Amino acid sequence: MVSCLVELQELTVLTKHFCRHNKTPLSPSCPLLPCMHIIIWSTDRLTVGPPMITDTKPKAGIMKVNFFLFFLALTGFSLIGHSVLRVTKDTKPNSEMMKFLQNANTLLLVVAFVSLTGLIFLGYSSTSLRYKEKRFCLNLTKEHQENSNLQSPQGLSYKQPSVVGPDGKVVPVTPWLSPIVWEGTFDPLLIDSIYRQQNITIATTVFALGKYTQFLKDFLESAEQNYFVGFRVHYYLFTDQPEQVPEVKLGEERQLTVLKVPSSNRWQEITLRRMEKLEKLIESRLVNEADYVFSLDVDTKFYGRWGAESLGRLIGVIHPGYYQTAREQFPYERRPESQAFIPYAEGDYYYGGAVIGGLVKDVYEAAKTCREQLDIDAAKSIEAAWQEESHLNKYFLYNKPSKVLSPEYLWQDFKPHTNEVKIIRFSQVIKNYAAVRPNP
């Protein structure tokens, strides 16, 4: 506790020096305000919280005290004067100053009343202002955290981040300080308990067109055993064959909505239109029905727990086939004429398109941007190397995810287990692509 206090005090001093050096007061625009925490003292407890915004008028507090003392003295003087006049009036009933004393007595009573009113108002307004100031600071910090998009400039040169270190241990954080979720980096009971109190709804979109409906039963049954167990989950299933949707018993506060969509003769077209469907669903329904949304591939199965540790503003998952590959070998779109183009010298990770998630508004922005880029490419008869996955990787390169899921959250059944992947939570099943896809 002592070390924490020392660090917080040092951070406060550094912030003051920074603001003084830049000749700016500590205000909401101060660049260190969102990440700084100081000790807030109160009369009954010590709490840790965001910094209070320093008053740009340093004499405001002194003025309040002076006004308080002035009103207090005026009230006392008025009451004493009133008592003296009462005595004078009783001892000198026929005095020629009687009229003057009566007027003075009335004036003093009025002054005493006004003074008392001023004292009450000053005390109330001070408390109210302090409360509003604290609430404003809390709301400012929360709003900054929720809206702090991690945007990176294009063309920036830096070392490719690693997923596994030289010692063979997994790397738990990205270079932009977003966590990479691995087994052992979180407490399942604790993280679920924290988010369960917030009474959230997790929307989950799934696309099952054509023969892909055969994967629905395993997907839904395994999800009910492992996916956000104990949370309110709403599945939105896009399919061209509603009659092929299997009967699966859902848990309490979990529901399935089937949305019919046109079929297609090209699996690439089905993939390309997923972002558009997700964007429109968020606009029409999810903005009012959910807090978080995940879009998952249907030809998959859950093998282990997937819970609140995966929640965040914007979520991407590292592709299991490329997490130890040099970025020059990533299957990015390499044609400059495509909107999904990524130069060979750039790239963090290769993200799998089978999983995208986050807050509804942030997933909406990602889906909308990808859909717009897809439309631009389509107008020029360009189809990116891996359709929406290529555009998603372009988006994540310059709009960093706030949390990255390790390959535990997207494996492939045909791949053998590795030393760094301790548990497989979600995996793409083995299938004959020629048998399930409408075209090669």
Catalytic residues: 389
Separation of alpha carbons 228 and 236, rounded Å? 15
The tally of CA atoms less than 13 A away on the side-chain side of residue 360 is: 18
389 is in an annotated binding site: yes
The answer to whether 344 and 328 are in contact (CB under 8 A) is yes
Give the DSSP H or E segment for 179.
none
CB atoms within 10 A of CB 279: 20
Separation of alpha carbons 48 and 45, rounded Å? 10
Give me the sign of the Cα torsion angle 4, 10, 16, 22: negative
Query: CB-based burial of residue 125 (10 Å sphere; 0-12 exposed, 13-18 middle, 19+ buried)?
Result: exposed
240 is in an annotated binding site: no
Find how far residue 203's CA is from the centre of its chain.
16
163 is in an annotated binding site: no
44 is in an annotated binding site: no
297 is in an annotated binding site: yes
Q: Which residue has the tokens 């130890």?
A: 324
Q: What residues does 293 pair with on adjacent strands?
A: 203, 358
- Strands 254-260 and 314-318 turn out to be unpaired
348 is in an annotated binding site: no
Separation of alpha carbons 402 and 311, rounded Å? 10
Binding residues for Mn(2+): 297, 299
